[in-house]
Amino acid sequence: MKTRDGHALTPLEIQDLVNGIVDQSWPDYQLAAWLMAVYCRGLTEDEIFALTGAMAFTGAPLLEPLGIVDKHSTGGVGDKTTLVLAPVMAALGFPMAKMSGRGLGHTGGTLDKLESIPGFRTELTIQELRQQIDNIGVAVVAQSAQLAPADKRLYALRDVTGTVDSIPLIASSVMSKKLAAGTKHLVLDVKVGNGAFMAHVEEAMQLAQLMVKIGQHHHRRVSAILTTMNQPLGFAVGNAIEVNEAALCLQGQGPEDLHEEVVTLATELVHLVTKESLTEARKQVLAVLDQGKAWDMFGRWIDAQGGEFHAVAKGLPLAPVVLVWEAQDEGTVRAMDTRKIGDVALNLGAGRHRLEDHVDPAVGLMCYAKIGRRFEPGEVVAEVFARSKESAEEALRNLKSAISWGEPTETDAHLVLGTVRPDF
């Protein structure tokens, strides 16, 4: 194979490859061999641009974009950003139609969080989606199987062949779906740290730069912001519990890091669309939050997709067994094993080990520990919400083992680790 031997494929060869993926004429064993060749040899930028375009536009890409702006996160623990960002952008007058996925493993899924709201519908037809965007300017729905169909098959093969963490394959997978959805302005939230897919800034920056270049090649305005995942985002980890925290954030009462991340991503999107200065864009974002316009839009959005907003407004109910961890001694949080904290929520039932697993919307945890925070004796470090005393006790034991104490390094708690913007 050319890729195995280090020779670049032509755009026509790449299109033939993608056609064969979609129509099943390429068997799994041949595709698996090609994926391993890519993993070992890599692809040129031109190959990556061609592969992403072929994957995006083979299938049923949307000829007319549904919204003006979009956002993608590479996945983390406690990442409920979309729940806050989407109504903020709609309140600013920038329609946001986002196709999201479900959680698997230690990272949560936006759809699982939204489906913890009674009555909320994540399956909409394209016609219903367009109508909702026209009416209120915001919608978040399940990913369409018709968009970038080659990616679904390739991703399944990457999972079983150990080639998931190939940067060219990650970039083409993410960007093919975004290109197919048609949105012209995209911000990428690239998570970095022990709770993220990318553990180190250097590899995350390489991925971010590549995805921005892909966007630029295909005439999309794309920025990437590298954010830390060496600790959960916000305090809440779970489904209903994260919806409750997002609602508080929209009312000016949420955790500082969640508020700052939403403001940073929203500011970047306003800047991409309007080309206004980041300072002016940030003022606009803060205004719709401070004036309650984003909270009002959140309610309209939940209602539009069949959800019971009154249930969200009073706080979604959580699992009945609650265990509280109070600090016994004074101490400072030195570091956190974020993946392990995600696994605590996963094992409580908030996530999936396999795609077919049932998700319990009411279980989860509140982890008030943040790197550098000092606790006094008696202060609450965390709370666990579980279905049984046994699962709660196990969760609390594992949570305690995920947090270490001592003096942190100076850079550990920085939220934004870098930014990549387009040249044009």
Catalytic residue from among 79, 151, 257, 337: 151
User: What are the two backbone dihedrals, phi and then psi, of residue 382, each rounded to the nearest 5 degrees?
Assistant: -160, 160
Q: Using one digit for the tens of pLDDT, what is the confidence trace for 241-282?
A: 999 999 999 999 999 999 999 999 999 999 999 999 999 999
Number of H helices, E strands in the chain: 16, 13
Position 102 pLDDT exceeds 80: no
Residues 332 and 284 in one domain: no
275 annotated active-site: no
Q: Which of 400, 72, 69, 339 is nearest to 194 (CA)?
A: 339
Residues 282 and 300 in one domain: yes
Predicted local distance difference test score (pLDDT) of residue 424: 62
Q: Using one digit for the tens of pLDDT, what is the confidence trace for 153-198?
A: 898 898 888 888 899 999 999 999 899 888 899 999 999 999 998 8
User: What are the two backbone dihedrals, phi and then psi, of residue 383, each rounded to the nearest 5 degrees?
Assistant: -135, 145
Residues 119 and 264 in one domain: yes
- For 79, 112, 119, 246, the CA distances from 310, given in Å and listed in that order, are 23, 19, 12, 15
Is residue 364 helix, strand or coil?
A: strand
Q: Which long-range contacts (CB under 8 A, 24 or more apart) does 282-288 make?
A: 284/92, 285/88, 285/92, 288/88, 288/91, 288/92
**Enclosing domain of residue 369:** 321-405
Residues 268 and 347 in one domain: no
38 in Cβ contact with 157 (< 8 Å): no
Q: With respect to residue 6, please indicate whether it lies within any of the assigned structural domains.
A: no
Predicted local distance difference test score (pLDDT) of residue 146: 74
- The amino acid sitting at 121 is R
Q: With respect to residue 233, please indicate whether it lies within any of the assigned structural domains.
A: yes
177 annotated active-site: yes
Buried b / exposed e across 37-58, counting CB within 10 Å, b at 16+?
bbbeeebeeebbbbbbbbbbbb
Residues 296 and 243 in one domain: yes
- The amino acid sitting at 387 is R
Tokens representing residue 378 in the block: 């008696």
Rounded Cα–Cα distance for residues 235 and 83 (Å)? 15
Task: State the average pLDDT over residues 226-239.
Answer: 97
Residues 238 and 328 in one domain: no
What CATH number corresponds to the domain at position 18?
1.20.970.10
Residues 289 and 338 in one domain: no
342 in Cβ contact with 195 (< 8 Å): yes
User: What are the two backbone dihedrals, phi and then psi, of residue 177, each rounded to the nearest 5 degrees?
Assistant: -70, -35
How many domains in the chain?
3
Task: State the average pLDDT over residues 92-100.
Answer: 92
Residues 381 and 399 in one domain: yes
Residues 26 and 76 in one domain: no
Catalytic residue from among 80, 158, 191, 259: 158
Predicted local distance difference test score (pLDDT) of residue 5: 77
40-44, 141-145, 176-180: which is most confident: 40-44
Q: With respect to residue 62, please indicate whether it lies within any of the assigned structural domains.
A: no
What CATH number corresponds to the domain at position 296?
3.40.1030.10
Q: With respect to residue 358, please indicate whether it lies within any of the assigned structural domains.
A: yes
Q: With respect to residue 64, please indicate whether it lies within any of the assigned structural domains.
A: no
Q: Using one digit for the tens of pLDDT, what is the confidence trace for 384-410?
A: 999 999 999 999 999 999 999 998 876
Residues 50 and 83 in one domain: no
72 annotated active-site: yes
pTM for this entry:
0.94
Catalytic residue from among 71, 102, 106, 177: 177
346 in Cβ contact with 334 (< 8 Å): no
Catalytic residue from among 73, 100, 172, 173: 173
Asked which of 35, 57, 79 is the last residue of a domain, the reply is 57
Residues 281 and 386 in one domain: no
**Mean of pLDDT over the chain:** 93
